Structure 1
Amino acid sequence: MEIRLLTERDFDANIELSQYAFLYTLSEQQKEERRERFGEEKVWGVFEDHELCAKLLLIPLEVYIHGRPVRMGGIAGVATWPEKRRRGMVSRLLRRALEEMRKDGQLVSYLHPFSISFYRKYGWELFTDNKNYTIPVDKLPACQNVPGRVVREVRDLDILQSVYDRAIRRYNGPLVRSRSWWEQRVMNGIPYTAVYYNEAGEAEGYVLYAIEERKWITEEIFWLNETARQGLWDFIVNHDSKLKEVQVKLPVDDPLPLLLPDPMIKQEIEPYFMGRIVDAAAFIEAYPFAPSAESEGDTRFALQIEDRDAPWNDGRWIWTVSTDGSARLEPFLVSGDPELPANPALAALPTVSVTIGILTAFLLGYRRPSELQRFGLLSASEAAAARLDALIPARTPYLPDYF
């Protein structure tokens, strides 16, 4: 069994496996378009006797963590021929991907799971949900006729990205979008666009949408302030004569029901993407913890991480968070290790024991440490969990993209 990067000579085998696994068929033109981009992608495969048996795509990206860009490895297109399944091939691919991401300085990894329980076994955990609304047209908010104007069919990526880049930083975990990502992923197949401009002519919001069978389908919507939000909703409501309902996907902290005259509408919380810390020591060092008063001094924990698929994370650490919000992980010097001297003073540190997936979940803001401690997903005293709550800034995770 061999694991290696696919090359151009493997293109047809890669496409054949993808079409079978994901139940689609590409035209010859689509195949040629993908062939042209194939050299830009990192596709890892498992081979037996020179035959491609399983594969995954590893996408180099960046995401915002508390407003700071962090390198991320996106995993997509995981597929195995059915006769090759249950032989550990995907397990080996995922472990190899973790090694490669660590080498490339990608501190976290995202994927959209076909099965949450499957990827939990390898350290990925849910880190973001979506709130999906279905609003009958008779329950839409009343028009407010706010100042400014909405212009349809604005496809200038500089304008759209200027709004996105400012609006998205209020969330944890969204992509830092490149120009090519906008062109190939965000805008590909979008039927309609509209941009809200304030009275000074500055873009402060946009919506990407479709209208199908009298349903408004919001692909993406962002605004910078309440006036822009209301201006976009006025635009949506002005379609009421041709609609029976409006569908919109928003972050889980969205307050729309408080703003509707009749909030008895369908609301669905949808578990969405999973994340995983790739390199715990490097991630902790890059993470902006909340500063504390100098009189409180540095905070230290004895941290136990369980991570069987990334052995560089697995084990015991001294976790120090300084008063300025910087932090570091250092190997825990324990008794019984012939290479490391004992340090009895460390026994007095508060202990935190956690899987790599749960560590990811609370550092990305999906759940607070004290909540995880109550449900037994984080082993720590109430005091230690409360201290972690104070050190980790609260910010809602949100990822509007898909890959």
Structure 2
Amino acid sequence: MKIRRLANEERPTTSWRLQSYAFEPSPTQPDEVARFHDFLPYLADSITLVVQDGDETLAAVSAIPMRQNVRGVVHPMAGISGVASHPLARRQGHVRTLLTQLLGELRDEGYAVSSLYPFRPSFYARFGYAALPQPRTVSFSPADLGEWLRADLPGELRLQRIRDGYDTYRGFTERLVASRHGFCVLPDSRAVHLRDDDKRWLVSASHEGEVIGAVTYRIDDHGGTLRADDLLTVGPLGRALLLQFFARHVDQVARISAIVAADETPELWAADLATHTESTVAFPGAVAPMARLLTLDGLHGLPTGPGRVRVEIVDDPLLAGSYLLDGTDGQLTVSRADAPALPAATLTAAGISALVYGVADPDDLPLRGFGTVPPSAATQLRSLFPRTTPHLSTTF
């Protein structure tokens, strides 16, 4: 058996056969094969490892080179995808071997963090991934937005096919990745599929020449539902303008649905707005995202609260070791120097990742089996990494 990295043109006869069996209706039909060949240019920057026994591909794992904001700093991020194995080669350790090697290679190539949507969270927790909040879907009647329809709002709305408005949308997401914790963007080579596929409308909201909100959407039928993707805004005015746009569909659709961040509160958007907001997690089809650090040294300069603590990272080939984390100047410095007089904590990779992404309090970690955190160390870690809510866009 051998492990190797694929060239893009090799995918149709190697990794894609496994991935299509795992994630697509099967047996694969001829039109699906043609569709995948057409999709190859969008995979040009993806990294795929396979394990093969002779000419037979037994398992594959892929990474999409992305960028993600972690507490205000944009890092190279590896979006893990396409993890699949041959049905007769499952539970033989092939995926574990491939994923371990891929994560190590990605770290060595400069990727600081990694995110994914798991088929089973407990499997990826063993690889150091921590669970992140699931974005929520809110649905409501456009008739309940009457107050926004009557509002005299500053700003402008623009409606375009996504192929025509793609540059506007891409530019807006680039602004968001620079400012919003957890937000991530695809590489240009992959992102343009949204434009080329051209199956969405784009409405953008602007004020004084600056885009302040945007959402892509489709309408499934007259009297049906306007299905919006991520509702992206940089403030209340952007959201208000987009809600006003939705209100104008009162005589066209019965419902509006939109994807919002986990900390959004749609029930406060309007006085008489009756909403149904849900966050569904089910296996294997509706799972919450996960993320992990691939390096601690790469987090130098991360904005932090004041704190100084020593952490010992255990049971992880990428992060294992003793680190001094110092945020006394408002920016994180990471060193390997021992500091026995400081408060100390023992953490797993999932434990430190949960703290950095802001989804856990230090007191949570021992309860989850993510480490040992004495009270003195918990105080320092809580100051360094206050709780915050990351939002991964669903374009990932």
- TM-score interval (norm. to shorter): 0.7 to 0.9
- 2:352 corresponds to 1:359: yes
TM-score by length of 2: 0.86
Q: Is the 8 A contact 1:61 1:74 kept in 2?
A: yes
1:375–1:104 CA distance, 2 compared to 1 (3 A): closer
- 2:392 corresponds to 1:390: no
Structure 1 residue 278 displacement after superposition: 1.1
Report percent identity of matched pairs.
23
1:141–1:366 CA distance, 2 compared to 1 (3 A): farther
What's the CA shift string for 1:294-352, capped at 9, x where partnerless? xxxxx4323121234x2x422433333342423113164xxxxxxxxxxxxx4432121
SS, match of residue 147 in structure 2:
coil
Equivalent positions of 1:13-162 (< 5 A) are: 13-24=14-25, 25=28, 26-36=31-41, 40-140=45-145, 142-143=147-148, 144-153=151-160, 155-162=164-171
For residues 388 and 370 of structure 2, what CA distance do their matches in structure 1 show?
20
Larger-gyration structure (1/2): 1
Equivalent positions of 1:3-402 (< 5 A) are: 3-7=3-7, 8-9=9-10, 11-24=12-25, 25=28, 26-36=31-41, 40-140=45-145, 142-143=147-148, 144-153=151-160, 155-185=164-194, 188-198=197-207, 200-213=208-221, 214-262=224-272, 265-270=275-280, 272-280=288-296, 282-290=297-305, 292=306, 299-308=307-316, 310=317, 312-330=318-336, 332=338, 346-372=339-365, 377-392=370-385, 395-402=388-395
RMSD: 2.7
Q: Give the residue type in structure 1 aligned to 2:205.
A: Y
TM-score by length of 1: 0.84
Q: Is the 8 A contact 1:127 1:274 kept in 2?
A: yes
Q: After alignment, is 144-153 or 205-214 more displaced?
A: 144-153
1:11–1:165 CA distance, 2 compared to 1 (3 A): closer
Match of 1:337 in 2: none
What's the CA shift string for 1:4-56, capped at 9, x where partnerless? 11244563132222221222445454243245566543210011123110001
Q: Is the 8 A contact 2:15 2:59 kept in 1?
A: no
Gaps of 5+ in 1: 293-298, 333-345
SS, match of residue 241 in structure 1:
coil
Q: Give the residue type in structure 2 aligned to 1:398.
A: H
Structure 1 residue 219 displacement after superposition: 1.1
For residues 260 and 191 of structure 1, what CA distance do their matches in structure 2 show?
26
Q: After alignment, is 141-150 or 214-223 more displaced?
A: 141-150
What's the CA shift string for 1:216-253, capped at 9, x where partnerless? 11112222332221111011011011222211111111
For residues 178 and 19 of structure 1, what CA distance do their matches in structure 2 show?
23
For residues 57 and 76 of structure 2, what CA distance do their matches in structure 1 show?
29
Q: Give the residue type in structure 2 aligned to 1:239.
A: H
For residues 119 and 153 of structure 1, what CA distance do their matches in structure 2 show?
40
Q: Give the residue type in structure 2 aligned to 1:254.
A: E
For residues 37 and 169 of structure 2, what CA distance do their matches in structure 1 show?
30
Q: Is the 8 A contact 1:350 1:380 kept in 2?
A: no
Q: Is the 8 A contact 1:172 1:365 kept in 2?
A: no
For residues 45 and 262 of structure 2, what CA distance do their matches in structure 1 show?
35
Structure 1 residue 277 displacement after superposition: 0.9
Structure 1 residue 78 displacement after superposition: 0.6
